[in-house]
Amino acid sequence: MKSFQTERWTVDNFEENLIKHPHVIQASLWIKQNEVVALPTETVYGLAGNAQSDHAIARIFEAKGRPSDNPLIVHISDRKQLKGLVSSIPLNAQKLMDAFWPGPLTIVLPKGKDVSEKVTAGLSTVAVRMPNHAIALAVIEASGVPLAAPSANLSGKPSPTTANHVYEDLKGKIPGIVDGGSTGVGVESTVVECTDETVTILRPGGVTFEDLEHVVGTGNVMIDPGIQNEKLAPRSPGMKYTHYAPDAPFVLVDGSPDFLQQLVDKERAAGKKIGILTTDERVDFYRADCVIPAGRRENPETVAQHLYEALRSFNEASVDQIFGEVFPKTGVGVAIMNRLEKSAGGNIIKEQ
């Protein structure tokens, strides 16, 4: 693997004419050389490379340590870039683009001729989105090509929501990071597959089931069973492998705070250093070596925004075991629980 003196290029997301910013130009020059750089989006930081270059895509997999049978999302800055990238656009896909682009929605479409086979992992489809982030859009435009950009972290680790997170994971492995501050949504985009009649959610994210139904009609949105079945071949990014895991073993607890505290007390009595993932409302209730809130339970959007940062914080605390609360699977809570269940490898203790 190549070794780099990884640079950090600070860019203000609110500056005008970002395409001419020297750090945006610098990032785009690396991309034009078929290298990869990290950049912010409204969801998480992405590791971006030319989606039309086999070499660039191979560099993404190499830097992340990501299995090459896991497809990547292609990011565009203009719908004109869909030409050659996809071969057709169903009616429902057009409706969703009108409603949610730019934004945290990825649409799986029949692939065209102008996309690396490595991006699609051999599938006949390609996942595409238009990020709602001025820096990301500027880098794509300056590069002149669609960019494949999975999360800019080591494969399996919590996704990065700050440039510091990227630096922790990929220092020396990539030439640079465009530092645009903290991301907004915090969890990755919703991924859907469309026909003219239906929309199927392949990965829950910032755009909810209810949001989609509002656009395409009640009863026309489905959830793919592969979301919770890693034995099935992945039809989109985010459907395979244990993801988002902190260093210490992580278990979800479906029960009362008192029940969770009992589990913690038992492990601490055995000499283990224990962490708890909770919310602002309950942070003072628990007794443990490290209690970290991920946001407010009454406002699940804040939990989504801070989830990965909270999971990474346990690594700094060097705990032996982490227990985490569960959340209602409604609205963005579906995405939160999808990520937590993958972080825990499906390990859930239920109160009897």
Strand partners, 151: 46
Is the model's pLDDT at 341 over the cut of 80? Answer: yes
| CA nearest neighbour of 4 among 234, 130, 249, 174 | 174
pLDDT at site 241: 52
pLDDT at site 226: 75
Q: What is the pLDDT of residues 170-179, one digit of tens each?
A: 999 999 999 9
Whether residue 43 is annotated as binding a ligand: the answer is: yes
* pLDDT class of 4 with cuts at 50, 70, 90: very high
Mean pLDDT of 228-244: 57
Mean pLDDT of 75-104: 97
Full set of structural domains in the chain with CATH? 7-228 (3.90.870.10), 250-350 (3.40.50.11030)
Q: With b meaning 16 or more CB within 10 Å and e meaning fewer, what string describes 129-147?
A: bbbbbbbbbbbbbbbebbb
Mean pLDDT of 254-276: 98
CA distance 39 to 21: 14
Q: With b meaning 16 or more CB within 10 Å and e meaning fewer, what string describes 69-86?
A: ebbbbbbbbeeebbeebb
pLDDT above 90 coverage of the chain, percent = 90
Whether residue 87 is annotated as binding a ligand: the answer is: no
Whether residue 347 is annotated as binding a ligand: the answer is: no
Is the model's pLDDT at 287 over the cut of 80? Answer: yes
Whether residue 66 is annotated as binding a ligand: the answer is: yes
CA distance 50 to 36: 8
Whether residue 79 is annotated as binding a ligand: the answer is: no
* pLDDT class of 68 with cuts at 50, 70, 90: confident
Whether residue 149 is annotated as binding a ligand: the answer is: yes
pLDDT at site 1: 78
pLDDT at site 69: 79
Asked whether the CA dihedral 106, 111, 117, 121 is positive or negative, the reply is positive
CA distance 160 to 308: 7
Whether residue 45 is annotated as binding a ligand: the answer is: no
Greater pLDDT, 339 or 229: 339
Whether residue 312 is annotated as binding a ligand: the answer is: no
* pLDDT class of 236 with cuts at 50, 70, 90: low
Residues sharing a CB contact under 8 Å with residue 88, sequence separation 6 or more, in sequence order: 109, 110
* pLDDT class of 66 with cuts at 50, 70, 90: confident
Whether residue 189 is annotated as binding a ligand: the answer is: yes
Is the model's pLDDT at 102 over the cut of 70? Answer: yes
DSSP H/E element including 27: helix 22-32
Whether residue 34 is annotated as binding a ligand: the answer is: no
* pLDDT class of 147 with cuts at 50, 70, 90: very high
* pLDDT class of 234 with cuts at 50, 70, 90: low
